[in-house]
Amino acid sequence: MNQIRWMGVVTLAFLLAGMLIEPRRNFPEGAYPALQGEAQKSKQFENIKVILTCEKERVSLRDDLVMDVSIRNDGYSDVYLFQSLHWAQGGGLGPYIRDEKGKLIYFEIDPLWPPPPPGDPTLLLCLEEDHFYGLRTVRHVKDLVPGVGKYTIFVVFHPIGGKFLLPEKLRDLPVLTIDDEPIDSNRVTFEVIP
């Protein structure tokens, strides 16, 4: 019973954190630097890159857009991630699309996933130097954008989980957590044709 209550408290904390991190529809310029293209990385994780690729540069509204996102360690030492990697703004991989005029396009995304149970030995993934960890998604173009035109997509990686979820012996590891700044990906442009 205590474990269920603890998981409920942790889930509520993640939901509240997600609401605070998630960009609002009418955010003021400069309020969310990652959405403005400014890197936000601590020194410890400056060699962690988020790489976005799309299979096609031209798609129709009837097509699917296939996207791969990788979190890559270009450094010389291991870094640990919470291995639960999902598409979710506010915690995980948050995709953003801008139209030709720079306006953000909003679309439905997966709900925020619950945090892993405390003390779970499978919580962490070791991202060794020159290795990557990623996720592929396939989305209908018509569900992402309102119509034809050129669009730019990018992803902001919001690390999830806190060190408090880890067993005591793992808390000194270099772990990307919710306390670290988001990391934004490269920008990918795609054109939607009729």
Domains of the chain listed by start with CATH number: 2-23+32-193 (2.60.40.2360)
What pLDDT, on the 0 to 100 scale, is given for residue 31? 35
Q: Who contacts 9 (Cβ-Cβ below 8 Å, separation ≥6)?
A: none
What pLDDT, on the 0 to 100 scale, is given for residue 163? 85
CA-only gyration radius of the chain, Å: 17
Structure tokens belonging to residue 188: 């990918």
Up-side HSE of residue 33: CA atoms within 13 Å toward CB?
Answer: 7
Question: Consecutive sets of 10 residues in the chain, 194 residues long: mean pLDDT of each?
Answer: 42 39 37 41 82 96 95 93 77 89 82 64 83 91 95 92 84 89 95 95
CB of 47 within 8 A of CB of 75? Answer: yes
What pLDDT, on the 0 to 100 scale, is given for residue 189? 97
- List Cα–Cα distances, 58 to 10, 29, 81, 103, in angstroms: 42, 30, 33, 20
What pLDDT, on the 0 to 100 scale, is given for residue 3? 44
Whole-model pTM?
Answer: 0.73
